[in-house]
Amino acid sequence: MRRWNGWGDSDTHYPLHATAIRFLKERVGPGTPPKDAAWPDVLASVPPSRLPAHRLVSIDPAERLRHARGQSLPDWLALRAGRVGLFPDGVAYPAGEGEVRALLRYAVEAGVRLIPYGGGTSVVGHIQPLPGDAPVLTVDLARLNRLLRFDESSHLATFGAGIAGPDLEAQLRARGCTLGHYPQSFEYSTLGGWIATLSSGQQSLGYGRIERLFAGGRLETPAGTLVMPPFPASAAGPDLRDLVLGSEGRLGILTEATVRASRLPEREDFHAVFFHSWEDGQAGAREIIQAGLPLSMLRLSTAPETETTLALAGHERLIAALEQLLSVRGVGAGKVMLLLAFSGRNDLVKAARKAALGIARRHGGVHAGRVFGSQWRKSRFRTPYLRNTLWEMGYAIDTLETATDWADVPALVAAIGHALCAGLEAGGERVHVFTHLSHLYPYGSSIYTTYLYRLAAEPDETLRRWQVLKAAASQAIQSHGATITHQHGVGIDHLPYLPAEKGALGMQVMRAIAKELDPAGIMNPGKLFL
Ligand SMILES: Cc1cc2nc3c(=O)[nH]c(=O)nc-3n(C[C@H](O)[C@H](O)[C@H](O)COP(=O)(O)OP(=O)(O)OC[C@H]3O[C@@H](n4cnc5c(N)ncnc54)[C@H](O)[C@@H]3O)c2cc1C
């Protein structure tokens, strides 16, 4: 069963071994396990529903609690401390477009606010109810989960938008295809959520971000149905798919989406290369990406992330052998790790691997083979379970991300690191910060930073620490003119930073579009923009 106040299935655990625990204590100090609120107590805090009765709406308190929050750190804090505050007044699980339209009519007539809900894996506050007099209905799209059409010759697959990653991939794999879209939240996040948040999968370099994969679909809005046919390409004016991509539930409910699948790769190899320094690693990775080789992933960790990854990885014997190999080749302290994935036809994979490893070698890179890369691949959807373990040991962990051009990458990585490391100095607390370049482009890169600090005795103080850190890092990002988010979206956490990025006219255009499709303003108000 899915955890109600943490990540993932309650039977899956990610224990840390003694070396990893020692490493964390050295970095930020010993953690004190928190006293989390119990399910019955939080359930008892769910207030009576304000919704008028409807045959499709459940007002069951357990359903309402399970849909109250996503996966951001403030969400975790609210759930773990039992201070959720606001709950949806009801949850509906429509089984088709007709039921979605019925719910939209009901909401308009009864003055109900709607929150579309995919997998609930949002990390920026997309799906929580906000204060207001109008009742809130969460529309969980889990029942829109079927493969509706598959065009074998074009590799176009149309799914119900509520389908989750594993089901979608299983359907495509049974037909010799893959979408290749693997956000780390793959286990639970959904096709509709990926589109509505402009998500990026770990192998976006080869398969594309969701905007390349999303061919068309149907959006049910209070003003009617917006149909986006899946043309291979079109010059017929502005592309309406761009309205839906990143719309965060503000314009309507995506009921079905057609995606561009790829033939399953003949071969898929993950490799690791270690460089002497961050500068060498960046130069090597940049040259590889700018060579236009058919890779499906490049991911470059800074020295602190490389050290942390190796310290927390487990597999002590494997890591010791790796360290020995690297030290023989003169790669020691300050080393950085580049993960590369090659996917596709056998001959192309071989040629791309040879070319990429050749470039890496010219920058001093030492190829550590396939074992480490394969281990990373195997555990890539298990890593989020570490959040549960750390929390229970007394540590909060969160991530943030941005993207900028290559010329600014080194300075921005340093600025974010500095902002976070220094963020809690006044209170005498340390923050452990590590970063990787997660999605590389010929013209720039995304930057993905993880930070870890100790939980305070009081949840309010833990939240205050998060607010200080988040603001400091966001200001560093903004002062560099970088985007406030490369893949997580805006929600409520990034909302204050959007006007600087879009400009006054840009914000006006977005509001005007929302007004046209949702005149009464019932669709997820308060998220993305005010
Ligand atoms: C551990 C972890 C790892 C993550 N890794 C990644 C990653 O690698 N890459 C990445 O891009 N993101 C990542 N995320 C963030 C998150 O998974 C993505 O934002 C994801 O796309 C959200 O999908 P969801 O189905 O869970 O949507 P939800 O969280 O349910 O909703 C997100 C937003 O989309 C809207 N929405 C959802 N479905 C629809 C629909 N059918 N119609 C209209 N609006 C809809 C909601 O109203 C809401 O505003 C991660 C999150 C976690 C917790």
pLDDT in tens, 270-291: 999 999 999 999 999 999 999 9
Per-residue model confidence as pLDDT tens digits over 117-130:
999 999 999 999 99
Average pLDDT for 65-93: 98
Per-residue model confidence as pLDDT tens digits over 446-485:
999 999 999 999 999 999 999 999 999 999 999 999 999 9
Per-residue model confidence as pLDDT tens digits over 368-403:
999 888 989 999 999 999 999 999 999 999 999 999
Element (H, E) at 473: helix 459-479
Mutation test residue for ligand 1: of 71, 189, 258, 402, the one with most atoms within 8 Å of CB: 189
Average pLDDT for 237-256: 98
Express as a percent the part of the chain with pLDDT over 70.
Answer: 100
314 has pLDDT over 80: no
CA distances from 350 to 40, 179, 343, 373, 429 (A): 56, 22, 10, 16, 48
Residue nearest to atom 49 of ligand 1 (CA): 248
First-last CA distance in the chain: 36
490 lines ligand 1 (CB under 6 A): no
316 has pLDDT over 90: no
pLDDT at 197: 98
CA distances from 461 to 74, 174, 394, 470 (A): 12, 50, 13, 14
pLDDT at 455: 98
For residues 34 and 27, is the Cβ–Cβ distance under 8 A?
no
For residues 298 and 338, is the Cβ–Cβ distance under 8 A?
yes
Per-residue model confidence as pLDDT tens digits over 15-58:
999 999 999 999 999 999 999 999 999 999 999 999 999 999 99
Per-residue model confidence as pLDDT tens digits over 402-437:
999 999 999 999 999 999 999 999 999 999 999 999
206 lines ligand 1 (CB under 6 A): no
For the CA of 122, the nearest atom of ligand 1: 29
183 lines ligand 1 (CB under 6 A): yes
249 lines ligand 1 (CB under 6 A): yes
For residues 344 and 266, is the Cβ–Cβ distance under 8 A?
yes
Q: Could you tell me the distance, in angstroms and rounded to a whole number, from the CA of residue 122 to the centre of ligand 1?
A: 5
Q: Is 147 exposed, middle or buried (0-12, 13-18, 19+ CB in 10 A)?
A: middle
Residue 320: CB atoms within 10 A of its CB come to 11
Per-residue model confidence as pLDDT tens digits over 323-368:
999 999 999 999 999 999 999 999 999 999 999 999 999 999 999 9
3-class state of residue 303 by DSSP = helix
pLDDT at 228: 98
473 lines ligand 1 (CB under 6 A): no
Both tokens assigned to 86:
């606001």
For the CA of 202, the nearest atom of ligand 1: 8
**Dist. CA 106–CA 473, nearest whole Å:** 42
With tokens 């600014």, the residue in question is 408
For the CA of 117, the nearest atom of ligand 1: 30
Average pLDDT for 243-248: 98
Residue 235: CB atoms within 10 A of its CB come to 6
pTM of the model: 0.98
The closest alpha carbon to 398, from 453, 320, 462, 343, belongs to: 453
Instruction: Give me the phi and psi of 6, to 5 degrees please.
Output: -165, -160
Average pLDDT for 201-210: 97
200 lines ligand 1 (CB under 6 A): yes
pLDDT at 408: 98
88 lines ligand 1 (CB under 6 A): no
